[in-house]
Amino acid sequence: MLRKIWIIIFCIVLIWSAINPHDYFTWFLEVIPAFIGVFVLWKTEKSFPLTVLVYNLILIHMIILMIGGHYTYAEVPLFNTIKDIFELGRNNYDKIGHLAQGFVPAMIAREIFIRKKIITSKPWENFLIIAFCLGFSAFYELIEWWVAIGSGESAEAFLGTQGYIWDTQSDMGLALLGAIIALISLSKTHNKQLNKI
């Protein structure tokens, strides 16, 4: 039942996202990680099913990607309103995406590390999960750079820097913060679900 609800929500948001997006090139760049994620989940569903918590976090992250793909991260309407109300210099929806880029992979890595018994020391496990998330975030920033070089100005909406010179560093910092928050706030709940597997 939960699997069907997950698939229905994903498909509804995907279809909405694909209808008249800001531009299809940006939409494709932003949504391709969600397609890759769905493929990986489908291939590992029977051999390595994840906890409900992690599946739901992955879905939330995919929805964040699809919203960003539809509007571009610099033009999400709610965050334009927030920008205007608080007189901010930029639309900060992309910062939600980068926080999630640390938060969600931290829980995925935690589940793999624990279930595969990769690390037996909790302090080292947490350190390596955080290091993995920071490394993943840095690698994603490199991908953004390569796309910008390869496609020129057409990648501006994908980069979403909005003239902020510290965009790359703040993106990685938010991914780091997201990973730390995830480990602190969800480890007990995650452990309960892991014990049921």
Residue 157 has pLDDT above 60, yes or no: no
Using the Cα atoms of residue 151, residue 161, residue 14 and residue 102 in order, give the sign of their dihedral.
Answer: positive
Structure tokens given for 85: 């109300």
Segments forming the whole domain that contains residue 148:
2-195
Q: What is the mean pLDDT of residues 38-66?
A: 97
> Structure pTM?
0.90
Query: What pLDDT, on a 0 to 100 scale, did the predictor assign at position 166?
Result: 80
Q: Which one has a higher pLDDT value, 149 or 138?
A: 138
**What CA–CA distances, in Å, run from 28 to 25, 133, 145?**
5, 23, 16
| Number of structural domains in the chain | 1
Query: What pLDDT, on a 0 to 100 scale, did the predictor assign at position 125?
Result: 96
Share of the chain above pLDDT 90, in %: 78
Asked whether the beta carbons of 113 and 183 are under 8 A apart, the reply is no
Residue 129 has pLDDT above 70, yes or no: yes
